[in-house]
Amino acid sequence: MYRICFVCSGNICRSPIAEALLRARLVDEGLDTGIVVDSAGTGGWHAGEPADPRAVAAMNAAGYPAGSGDHTARQFEVSWFDECDLVIALDRGHESELRRLAPDAAAAEKVRLLRAFGDDGADAASGEALDVPDPYYGDDAGFAECLDIIEAALPGLLKTVRERTGAVG
């Protein structure tokens, strides 16, 4: 099994969207066998809660299946570095926190920024552009924008997954 875990702050907005979108793309491309996709937060303040209803609405509006009862927020645990092949941070703050938590250099190497996979105009020289903005304190439009940004990074992520797993879809 190849395991991917998306990580944002509280695991109710960005990371559940990324998880649902990647799962759907894996199914669409016939790559859903042998690849496990999950998500978590750097903090535990939303642990046990479902995805934010605005995130669910944005996914449903974009045609992705996203039942609100299908997700339960949880906090990333250091032991998951042993289980995951890729730990994908949604912004530079999450990336820094995950690298700080990593027990060794091999674990830290598993941490990547989601938008670093994309070809959506994000510029590595401008770290700000690599962040997926947190829609939590904004309006519904912020969730749709977040979804679009995540969607734009998926082709590059899928390419990496194919290369690392030898999967053909």
Q: Is residue 134 annotated as part of the catalytic site, yes or no?
A: yes
CB 165 within 8 A of CB 25: no
Give yes or no: 8 in active site.
yes
Task: Kindly name the residue from 8, 13, 84, 146 that is annotated as catalytic.
Answer: 8
- Residues facing residue 3 across a β-bridge: 36
Strand order in the sheet with 86-89: 35-41, 2-8, 86-89, 111-113
> Tokens 């082709």 — which residue?
155
Which of 5, 13, 14, 23 is an active site residue?
A: 14
In angstroms, the CA 4 to CA 91 distance is 16
CB atoms within 10 A of CB 101: 18
Say whether 131 is catalytic: no
**What are residue 7's DSSP bridge partners?**
40, 89
CA pair distance 112, 86, nearest whole angstrom: 7
The DSSP 8-state label assigned to residue 75 in this structure reads: B
Name the catalytic one among 32, 85, 120, 134. 134
Residues with a catalytic annotation lie at 8, 14, 134
